[in-house]
A and B are shown apart, each in its own frame.
Chain A
Amino acid sequence: MSRTVWILLQLRDGKLHRMAREAITAGQALATAVGGRASAVIVGHETDAASQEAAAFDLDAVWVADDAKLAAYTPGAFVGTLVQAVRGAEVAPDYLVAPHTYQSVDFVPRLGQQLDAAVVPEAVSFEAADDGMVFRRPIMGGKLQARVRTRGEGLAVVTVQSGAFSASDATAGSADVRALSIDFSTVAADREILGVEQVGGDQVDLSKADIVVAVGRGVGGEDKMQPIHDLAEALGADIGASRPVIDNGWLPRDRQIGSSGQTVAPKLYVAAGISGAIQHLVGMKSASCVVAINKDASAPIFSVAQYGLVGDLHEILPVLTEAVKAAKAS
């Protein structure tokens, strides 16, 4: 029996979100793996530009739900629309694939609950097994990966982790844009949107920093930050941090690097005491050279680092600072 994959495309400023393109790659690959075809689904308002973008991919169709009630994202309106779309589909989908964005994570589990589906968050890969699909996803803050299987024949909803699939690998083609038949009189927002604000004013712009010394929870406290400052000064680096450091108030929020903070792309990135949760990795994966220093040899930061040093940063950093000074003086 042919399988149907729907790819939920997130929009940003009327265009496809960067991660929507990664979701297209993932959805096409999943369709191939299960022996089926993929279609795209766009939910929003004034969606013409985005649906034309999506129509240039190898998809069965680009299904569109366009209504003023969907102009601003709310889980109530999005879930209400998509539940109708799935239940009223000519060919019901077997899989829904969405990018693992903060918007998707907000509403996709609830969509899964309403449709009595299996929900697989944050998939980084999948493979066909004898009795269905097996998905790989990070657990324990990315220290381990679990292989999970969905039980039964029903709908599975999968969100795919940022960077797990490449946007440039999506197969081009030509798809028809078609309107979903939705009764919008029963669709209602469950939030009154008041506005969007910048976090903490962002006085510090780390995006153009040449060298970044980034510190994580492993530094051990606000009063133990001196080696970080010393190394940053010796290297002429800017200081960044992973989220726990910010949450504990050891550095101001505008130093945060990661999915909810800043994105950096320096030529040298020294990660000290950072375990490397995916939320941090997405903010620094474009660094040219990453040096990781961590006492836990299994920390995921080592999987993105070029050079890894296992040990106590309080022992290593002072020695490194002196060596950098000596190297620069010679």
Chain B
Amino acid sequence: MKIAVCIKQVPDTEARLRVRKDGRWVEEEDLPFVINESDNYALEEALAIAEQRGGEVVVISLGPARVKDALRKALALGAKRAIHLADAAFDGGDAAATARALAAVIEREGCDLVLTGSQSDDAGWGSTGSIVAGHLDWPHAWLVMGLEVEDGGSAKVTREMESGMNEVFRLQLPAVIEVQAGINHPRYASLKGIMQAKRKPIDTPTPAEIGLSADGVGAAGSKIEVLDVAFPSSGEGAEMIEGDAAAMVATLVEKLQREARVL
């Protein structure tokens, strides 16, 4: 079976963030980028399914030149080919515009299953995969914690609900499965994999080559515009206790005893 995995390259969640000069996004210069966490799990799930049932994994990502690093890493982990929507026209899109481009690529590829993460650690729309499924008219499931591809073209899906409960259901393939972090244990790349990845192809189609007009993708094709980003106001936050470890702890313990009276 042919499995497409849509991944996003995002700032490392541990990185210190600064607001960009124009105020509309974070400053990307000097920022370390990684594969989005839940997309990593989606990739592992796809590689495991391809190993068990036979087939190939194609990895797809949208974004600027730096995204090549994420795709190379996915190729090193075992994906066979990569598609990089690198044309500047794809940039700056909301979930709907990004999903439109991804769906067009997937349609051109002809896939049996699409896997992706449930939510990106940067913009966090949490909706790109579901919108891809809408364009393809396939079933989808969001926040998937268990996936079993069955003989006969169906899949058994375990989906997370609130309050520590899971829902189990069956859906027909092809489908878009948006996985939650924690569904499996992602592998590490081997040296051999890293060497092989250098020779694996990365295709970079333009909007026209996937049958879309440039004003239907990226910022031009979006209905959502980010006006500005900011750190939430700190005034309503905690009382910050300063000093070295010993001084902070001494102050904290006194406050817990006398002010909060919880110790």
Beta-carbon contact of B140 and A246 below 8 Å: no
A145-B230 contact given A117-B223, A139-B123, A289-B256, CB 8 Å threshold: yes
Q: Which residue of A lies closest to B122 (CB)?
A: A140
Beta-carbon contact of A148 and B226 below 8 Å: yes
Beta-carbon contact of B257 and A138 below 8 Å: no
Which one of B55-63, B80-88, B168-176, B202-210 is at the A interface? B168-176
Q: Which residue of B lies closest to A200 (CB)?
A: B164
Chain A residues near B165 (CB-CB < 8 A): 196-199
| Docked pose: A74 CA to B142 CA in angstroms | 12
B interface residues, tally (CB under 8 Å): 82
Whole-angstrom distance from the CB of A156 to the nearest CB of chain B?
8
> Can you report 23 residue pairs joining A to B where beta carbons are below 8 Å apart?
A102-B143, A106-B142, A110-B131, A110-B134, A112-B127, A113-B131, A140-B121, A141-B121, A146-B227, A146-B228, A150-B223, A190-B139, A196-B166, A197-B168, A198-B164, A211-B262, A260-B161, A260-B164, A268-B256, A268-B260, A302-B234, A308-B238, A311-B248
Residue B141 lies at the interface, judged by CB distance under 8 Å to chain A: yes
Q: Which residue of B lies closest to A310 (CB)?
A: B240
Chain B residues near A110 (CB-CB < 8 A): 130-131, 133-134, 140
Residue A315 lies at the interface, judged by CB distance under 8 Å to chain B: yes
| Docked pose: A108 CA to B122 CA in angstroms | 20
Contact residues, A89-140 vs B (CB, 8 A): 101-103, 105-110, 112-114, 117-122, 134, 137-140
Beta-carbon contact of B134 and A143 below 8 Å: no
Interface size band for A: 35 or more
Q: Which one of A249, A275, A289 has the greatest number of beta carbons of chain B within 10 Å?
A: A289
Residue B11 lies at the interface, judged by CB distance under 8 Å to chain A: yes
Chain A residues near B189 (CB-CB < 8 A): none
Chain B residues near A113 (CB-CB < 8 A): 96, 99, 130-131, 134-135
Contact residues, B187-202 vs A (CB, 8 A): none
Q: Which one of A112, A114, A195, A309 has the greatest number of beta carbons of chain B within 10 Å?
A: A309
Residue A149 lies at the interface, judged by CB distance under 8 Å to chain B: yes
- The 9 A-B pairs of least Cβ separation, nearest first, read A109-B127, A308-B238, A118-B223, A247-B182, A113-B134, A305-B238, A191-B169, A109-B130, A268-B262
Beta-carbon contact of A298 and B164 below 8 Å: no
Q: Which residue of B lies closest to A156 (CB)?
A: B223
Q: Which residue of B lies closest to A134 (CB)?
A: B227
| Docked pose: A290 CA to B237 CA in angstroms | 11
Residue B160 lies at the interface, judged by CB distance under 8 Å to chain A: yes
Beta-carbon contact of A199 and B166 below 8 Å: yes
Chain A residues near B95 (CB-CB < 8 A): 109, 119, 121
Residue A208 lies at the interface, judged by CB distance under 8 Å to chain B: no
| Docked pose: A309 CA to B229 CA in angstroms | 25
Which one of A57-65, A164-172, A317-325 is at the B interface? A317-325
Chain A residues near B123 (CB-CB < 8 A): 139, 146
